[in-house]
Homo-oligomer: A and B are copies of this chain.
Amino acid sequence: MTMATTPAAPDLAMVDAWWRAANYLAVGQIYLRENPLLAEPLRPGHIKPRLLGHWGTSPGLNLIYAHLNRVIRERGTHALHVTGPGHGGPSALAASWLDGTYSERHPNVPRDAAGMATLFRQFSQPGGVPSHIAPGVPGSIHEGGELGYSLSHAFGAAFDNPNLVVACVIGDGEAETGPLAASWHGNKFLSPRTDGAVLPILHLNGWKIANPTLLARMPREELDALLTGYGWRPIHIEGDEPARVHADFAAALDEALDEIAAYKATAQRRPRWPMLVLRAPKGWTGPRTVDGTPVEGTWRSHQVPLAGVRENPEHLALLDAWMRSYRPDELFDADGHPTPIVLANVPAGDTRLGAVPEANGGALVRELPLPDLHDFAVEVTEPGASSSEPTRALGEYLREVFARTANRRDFRLFGPDETESNRLGAVYRATAKAWQEPVTDLDAHLAPDGRVVEILSEHTCQGMLEGYLLTGRHGVFSCYEAFTHIVSSMFNQHAKWLHACREIDWRPPIASLNYLLTSHVWRQDQNGFSHQDPGFVDNVINKRPEVVRVYLPPDTNTLLSVGDHTLRSRGLVNVIVAGKTPTPDWLTMDEAVLHCTRGAGIWEWASNDDGDPQVVLACAGDVPTLETLAAADLIRCRLPELRVRVVNVVDLMRLVPETEHPHGMPDREYDALFGTDVPVIFAYHGYPWLIHRLAYRRHNHAHLHVRGYKEYGTTTTPFDMVVLNDMDRYQRVIDVIDRVPGLATHAATVRQTMVDARTRHRAWILEHGEDMPEVRDWTWSTDIREPQP
């Protein structure tokens, strides 16, 4: 192993000492349950029974942290730290313990010998702390368990934080992932004036788990070209001799920060920002060879380089020597306190990376100055008499949110080039799209300080928004419904983060992550099958109920109400599914607020059940609601004696028992709404079995019949989409006739008329290429009309 003994240049002695201390602590966490200060030679009994953790990345991460500490101390840099290789938990925990921040947040782990013992013992152990850079680590906004999102998180953190430098360590393996590869281009959106800086630090340790990395192994000039092509100026630091690397890294970091400061002072548009490339051995300073096989500087150092320490005396001796190579007696006094030379490299107070306020966004987040919903409401004189485009109205509302946050700059909208297509374009009257590249007169709404971010990368949108929220701001991600699947996995990780934060009292909740899923399955008839997929919600509701909400507002005013509600909420992921095409306006603003607050309710004006329904027509989603009302209309004309109740569900989680979700309905309420023994014919926006999965414990479950998207899609007319999936008004009437006991014979003619209507529909669209006028032009009316043939 390389002994970290070479004396560093005078002013770097404390950096080196800090580095050695952090390395020592990282190794200790992986191996030791006793004898943390090596007061006696290591014995098998000192070793943990399960050896877990990732050593390989840790020395490099520690080096970077050590040097960030130096510039924070010396230059007063206001820095936030994001670590891509989140498996480097031992490093992050060591660093924040040295900071003192770990002990401040976790008083049971003081910065002394007892604390060090706990630090070691708790790592990756039952009842202890996770092996990754989880929310329990002070200063972390990025767990990094799933690789690829560090740099987009860093950009999100830097937006609208003009004084912040976000140092972002990127693993060379991580850099192979798609999300990371896309996110280098984040610099095209980062204003040198109104945003902070991002300083990527590519950690080129050469290896991932069992393979060399592409970036480390491709020709040097290609790597330089690649980074330059991404718009960065790489500054290289390379070596395995600590003193040399310390000196070079310090110089490089100073150079980069000087350059950043200069650009911040002068640049109007994107400069070629500096970045660092650290080429140093994986598992540096660890065992050079084990059992004759090279380990330091190879992929074999990725996890636990010495596996047999408990059984194999040679391994145990190697571990002992390895830990002592850091000269712990110079680093910790007899009581386990870090010595002055180590502490000299710890910055003060809130400038410590473990204490920087931006890393604990929940403590910073302020309430948004939201406007009065009524100013954006559509007027509704009678249910269904008019129609409007829901997202267009929401766009006006969001425009006002942008206007009111013009100075605070703590609200952003993210999207993959679809804001206009999703009919939210009104926001451009209050802000622009962020854009640092040249602008031509063919462009619209581009400006360096815009707060709408449009990049054709759902991953980057999601990652930037997460970073923005995690540092205490607000935002919305608007996306084609089908393509939110692209970020399913990122959503999972964020939801897990939010869930874990609920157990951490010093992390108050951040603003919720709000998805607006539009251009949805029923209105992608022109793009066809690839764009038709409502299944993101199915993934969302697998996550802990404490942190997820799903809303399906049926019209414009309900969308506004839900939008307002979600922007006020905290610590959640809110999914809103709403259409952009003209949709009947069912509820006035006041009714909408009441309905959305209830989350589900009877629409009396469409019902004639008088408290005793023979059938419940339930619906969730804008198109299902439209088809349900049209079916109710058909029924009241043709089967006027049938007692029908129409129930609309906005808040999907109302359907589950209250014991399962905070929004769940008690059984009594559910039974009152849906009945216990009448057929419930449910039209749901997405995959129909999702409703069964939510309601399978309910008393009426055997009477529940759900229609929804059954994965039949193509390029066709809007109404044909619902017919293809048996969710159309005619089929709903047929379902009613088939399910209500005793109705079948009586209503046989009506049933036949419905069957024929579906047949007529098919013939009509084939001939005319658009929907039948009776469908297209249908509106709800409070007057009951005569049945049409």
Question: Which of A2-10, A16-24, A212-220, A251-259 lies on the face that meets chain B?
Answer: A212-220
Q: In the complex, what's the smallest C-beta–C-beta distance from A217 to chain B, in angstroms?
A: 4
Do residues A526 and B227 form an inter-chain contact, with CB atoms below 8 A? no
Cα–Cα, bound, A183→B488 (Å): 20
Residues of B near A193 (CB, < 8 A) are none
Cα–Cα, bound, A489→B479 (Å): 14
Q: Which residues in A have some Cβ–Cβ distance to B below 8 Å?
A: 33, 48-50, 52, 86-87, 124-132, 134, 143, 145-148, 173-174, 176-183, 185, 188, 208-214, 217-218, 222-231, 294, 297-299, 417-421, 433, 437-438, 440, 442-444, 446, 454-460, 482-483, 485-486, 488-489, 492-493, 496, 499-500, 526-531, 533, 535, 538-539, 542-544, 687, 689-690, 692-693, 696, 701, 711, 713-717, 720, 765-766, 768-770
Residues of B near A128 (CB, < 8 A) are 715
Cα–Cα, bound, A399→B489 (Å): 31
Q: In chain B, what residue has the closest Cβ to A765?
A: B126
With A126-B720, A442-B297 known to touch, is A486 a contact of B131 (CB < 8 Å)? no
Do residues B224 and A711 form an inter-chain contact, with CB atoms below 8 A? no
A sample of 22 inter-chain contacts (CB < 8 A) reads A50-B526, A87-B527, A127-B765, A129-B715, A130-B714, A134-B528, A145-B531, A178-B183, A182-B182, A209-B417, A210-B417, A212-B443, A225-B229, A226-B226, A488-B488, A493-B530, A496-B530, A499-B711, A535-B542, A542-B687, A544-B711, A692-B692
Cα–Cα, bound, A769→B47 (Å): 11
Do residues B124 and A715 form an inter-chain contact, with CB atoms below 8 A? yes
Residues of B near A52 (CB, < 8 A) are 526, 715
User: How many chain copies does the complex carry?
Assistant: 2
Do residues A769 and B48 form an inter-chain contact, with CB atoms below 8 A? yes
Closest A-B pairs by Cβ, 9 of them: A145-B530, A226-B229, A178-B178, A225-B229, A485-B489, A181-B181, A178-B182, A176-B456, A126-B765
Question: Which of B177, B420, B543 is A457 in contact with, Cβ under 8 Å?
Answer: B177
Do residues A127 and B711 form an inter-chain contact, with CB atoms below 8 A? no
Cα–Cα, bound, A143→B455 (Å): 22
Given contacts A177-B458, A226-B229, 12 further A-B contacts (CB under 8 A): A50-B717, A124-B715, A126-B716, A176-B457, A177-B459, A185-B214, A209-B417, A222-B230, A482-B492, A493-B530, A496-B713, A696-B701
- If over half of A's interface residues share one DSSP class (helix, strand or loop), that class is named, otherwise mixed; here it is loop
Question: Which of B131, B179, B417 is A178 in contact with, Cβ under 8 Å?
Answer: B179
Do residues B176 and A182 form an inter-chain contact, with CB atoms below 8 A? yes
Q: In chain B, what residue has the closest Cβ to A543?
A: B711
Residues of B near A696 (CB, < 8 A) are 689, 692-693, 696, 701
Residues of B near A769 (CB, < 8 A) are 33, 48-50, 125-126
Q: In chain B, what residue has the closest Cβ to A418?
A: B209
Q: In the complex, what's the smallest C-beta–C-beta distance from A187 to chain B, in angstroms?
A: 10
